[in-house]
Amino acid sequence: MIIKKYVASSMKEALSKIGKELGKDAVIISQRAIRKPGIKGLFSPKVVEITAAVESKSNDLSWDDKEINSKSILPVDIVKNDELELRQEVETMKSLINSYFSTQSNNSINEEIKLEELDNKNKEESELQQEKASNSDIYFKEVKERLRELDISKDIVEELLETIKINIQVSSIDEIMNGIKEELGATIKIDSSEINGTIALVGPTGVGKTTTIAKLAGDLALVKKKKVGLITVDTYRIGAVEQLKTYADIMNIDFKVVFSLAEMEEAINSMKECDVILLDTTGRSSKNTMQVLELKAFLDRAKVDNAYLVVSATTKSGDMDIIANGFSNIKYKGLVLTKLDETSTYGSILNICRRTQVPIKFITVGQNVPDDIKVPLEDEIIKLVLGENSIC
């Protein structure tokens, strides 16, 4: 192989030289623009340097060509060095190219593996979320049925479960029930303050107001040793006055029967020395606004400090709403829940607490006077409502 370098002022001139010396089979190996050596080269235009090669074919050359080649061919050792350098450059380039494509291939494979692993992970997470969502729906459905069986009204059940869904990541029924307990704790409040001043019990007929007021009078007079006065305006119900008078005589407390507003004021004044004055009222229909307003007039004349709405735990959920709204003009400040011993479900307690937004003052759990009345604990009521406890 013959390898030569040519320097010319232009590419055309260089190609012309190559054609004349090496012939048409010459191959250009490299080309570059350079400056002539010396000081002059700094101020003159760049020239073209081309390295060309051709396979040696001495038989085809003319004597003139041979003479030219004998003069212009590079020494053998220089030719060999240039050829070696060229081969080394080619090998280096091949190595770099192979390395690059190998790296790209590995990166591509690794990326595919990572993407596949990510897809699998996302798929597993999605399946897990779907399974959790499916289980969650089953749990909520079961809890919903359980709460409805406890006589908790439908709209309150829906409100409770919607709140739980928003605030809790559910993975079991116990988590839902614990969340509901917290919600009930925010709804069911207990008023454990001392009873003083003039107190009235109001409510519909048949809820046990007279028996409850007798229990309360007995607890205050016999247990807490307070001076108690007892007034009744329940002159409509046969035997109510005699029943309450009998209790008053046994407990040795002041007792008055009031038929008019003027008598109410007189009765209150006669009991000024009492620590507590208990006012028993006539049962009124919560649907009869005139009767409720008449009752309110008696309470206003008595200057009642606190009025408590008496409701039976046996009352249906729908009726609880009517009672709560019907007596709203009285401005009652608490609830007295009676007859807890006469029912096996206590969802109505939550219903009335949710509707009225007032605390529970007392509960009654039997007919014994004065034993079966007490201020309950919040946890005790929550367990009753959720069916975890019962009153025997």
Q: What is the rounded distance in angstroms from the CA atom of residue 15 to the CA atom of residue 18?
A: 5
Structure tokens at 391: 């009153």
191 CB-near residues (< 8 Å, 6+ apart) = 333, 334, 359, 360, 361, 375
Q: What is the rounded distance in angstroms from the CA atom of residue 162 to the CA atom of residue 19?
A: 92
Residue from 303, 198, 285, 307 nearest 236 by CA: 285
Q: Is the per-residue pLDDT at 197 higher than 90?
A: yes
Q: Is the per-residue pLDDT at 67 higher than 50?
A: no
- As a CATH number, domain 189-385 is 3.40.50.300
Q: Do 340 and 346 contact (CB within 8 A), yes or no?
A: yes
- Exposure on the CB side of residue 31, measured as CA atoms within 13 A: 15
Q: Which helix (H) or strand (E) holds 176?
A: helix 173-187
Q: What is the rounded distance in angstroms from the CA atom of residue 349 to the CA atom of residue 370?
A: 22
Q: What is the rounded distance in angstroms from the CA atom of residue 272 to the CA atom of residue 303?
A: 12
Q: What is the rounded distance in angstroms from the CA atom of residue 228 to the CA atom of residue 219?
A: 10
Q: What is the rounded distance in angstroms from the CA atom of residue 370 to the CA atom of residue 44?
A: 126
6 — pLDDT class (breaks 50, 70, 90): confident
* pLDDT at 61 (0 to 100): 44
313 CB-near residues (< 8 Å, 6+ apart) = 337, 338, 339, 340, 342, 343, 346, 348, 349
pLDDT tens digit sequence for 230-258 = 999 876 666 678 888 888 999 999 999 98
pTM confidence score: 0.64
pLDDT tens digit sequence for 46-58 = 788 888 888 765 4
Range 234-244 burial, b when 16+ CB lie within 10 A, else e: beeeeebbebb
* pLDDT at 357 (0 to 100): 92
Q: Which residue has the higher pLDDT, 158 or 47?
A: 158
CA distances from 122 to 114, 116, 119, 136 (A): 12, 10, 5, 20
CA distances from 11 to 6, 28, 32, 55, 306 (A): 10, 12, 10, 22, 115
Residue from 166, 174, 176, 216 nearest 194 by CA: 216
Domain borders along the chain are 2-74, 114-185, 189-385
Q: Strand 306-312 to strand 334-338: parallel, antiparallel, or no bridges (unpaired)?
A: parallel
70 — pLDDT class (breaks 50, 70, 90): very low
